[in-house]
Amino acid sequence: MSKPSEKNQATAGAAKPAASKKAAPTKKSTPAKKTTPAKKSTPAAKTTAAKKATPAAKTTAAKKTTATKKSTAAKKTAPAAKTTAAKKTTPAKKSTAAKKAAPAKKTTPAQNTPQAKKTAPAKAKPESRAALVRRARRINRELAEVYSYAHPELDFENPFELLVATVLSAQTTDLRVNQTTPRLFAAYPTPEDLAAANPEEVEELIRPTGFFRAKTKSIMGLATALRDNHGGEVPGRVEDLVKLPGVGRKTAFVVLGNAFGVPGITVDTHFGRLVRRWKWTEETDPEKVEAAVADLFPKSEWTMLSHRVIFHGRRICHSRKPACGACPIADLCPSYGEGETDPEKAKKLLKYEMGGLPGQRLKPPPDYPGKAAPPLGAE
């Protein structure tokens, strides 16, 4: 046991001078932080220093090694950092490009995208009640100037003839009815005559109007009701008229307005189509349409308003191809553009007297500007 200790002491005594001599360069190189210790120290010195360094020296070496590792790791991770930086800068470039391309998006009609919905212009405010009344009445005044000759387009000599002609006009034109009724009224001039007629003979006379069997039943039924309940006279009240076979509110108001002078609104297919195009109402039920329009005008205008609107619907504002380019109230119509807007092309769509063609009556009123319609078979 004594021999090893002696050797250890001798080794320790010999090691102290060597360590002090070799430690001197280390102290000198310590202040020189600019130079890397790894470059100036030889491999042998590194090994010896690693073996004989004090704990403090080991800590210093560990710190230097850690720094070296960190710098190495930094060098190795530099490409990754560059890649990361590149990735981070890519969205910025994209956003910059998107900002530059923004004007192009404004011109793209992408109306369904969320962005487009946000930037879409606000809808126009709904028309006020007062504005609607003013616009509707202005349309009526302008139509009155265009169709100063507006009139019922069925030929008749008395209330009975007008009542029968109006029932026959369902699902056909007034022209066809006017061409058919002369022979019918020549054979059966009164309600009593028609009530006692042979149904087959009546069917043959009114065949050109279509649905002749159903219409025969209606006109013979109303003739019988007039004979039995009203003394052969057409009643002058809507409540009594609508109780007659084949007579509804439309027919009743045609008779009351044109044979008795009682104001009424006639809601036929033309009238209903136009008032919806003009946004006077959105209703489709005839009675609701009648009530809505009646609320916009004084009662004294109801009958002539009906004639003007129906005239306009038959001549210009057609169902399938409205002649918008020839319409006198285009600036007041919210549906302008549904039809032909070119003035020259629109003129070719005009009908009856406005298109240089005969009207619907064989016996038109004296102020009618067009030609009389030809009799049946002479067209």
| CA–CA gap between residue 369 and residue 365 (Å, rounded) | 9
Amino acid, single-letter form, for residue 188: Y
Catalytic residue, chosen from 33, 250, 279, 371, is 250
Q: Which two tokens stand for residue 208?
A: 């050109």
| CA–CA gap between residue 169 and residue 186 (Å, rounded) | 18
Known catalytic membership, residue 155: no
The residue whose two tokens read 């064989």 is 362
Catalytic residue, chosen from 16, 106, 268, 342, is 268
CA distance between the termini of the chain: 149
| CA–CA gap between residue 155 and residue 67 (Å, rounded) | 114
| CA–CA gap between residue 353 and residue 153 (Å, rounded) | 13
Closest CA to 222 of 201, 250, 241: 241
| CA–CA gap between residue 180 and residue 208 (Å, rounded) | 7
212-229 and 159-168 helices, crossing angle to 10°? 150
Alpha helices in the chain (DSSP H): 2-29, 37-40, 43-52, 55-106, 114-119, 129-146, 159-168, 174-187, 191-195, 199-206, 212-229, 238-241, 249-259, 269-277, 286-294, 302-315, 343-347
The residue whose two tokens read 């070719």 is 348
Q: Report how far apart, in Å, the C-alpha atoms of 239 and of each of 249, 252, 259, 376 are.
A: 9, 9, 16, 35
| CA–CA gap between residue 14 and residue 108 (Å, rounded) | 91
Closest CA to 151 of 258, 75, 14: 258
Closest CA to 160 of 264, 236, 211, 212: 236
Known catalytic membership, residue 250: yes
Catalogue the active-site residues.
250, 268
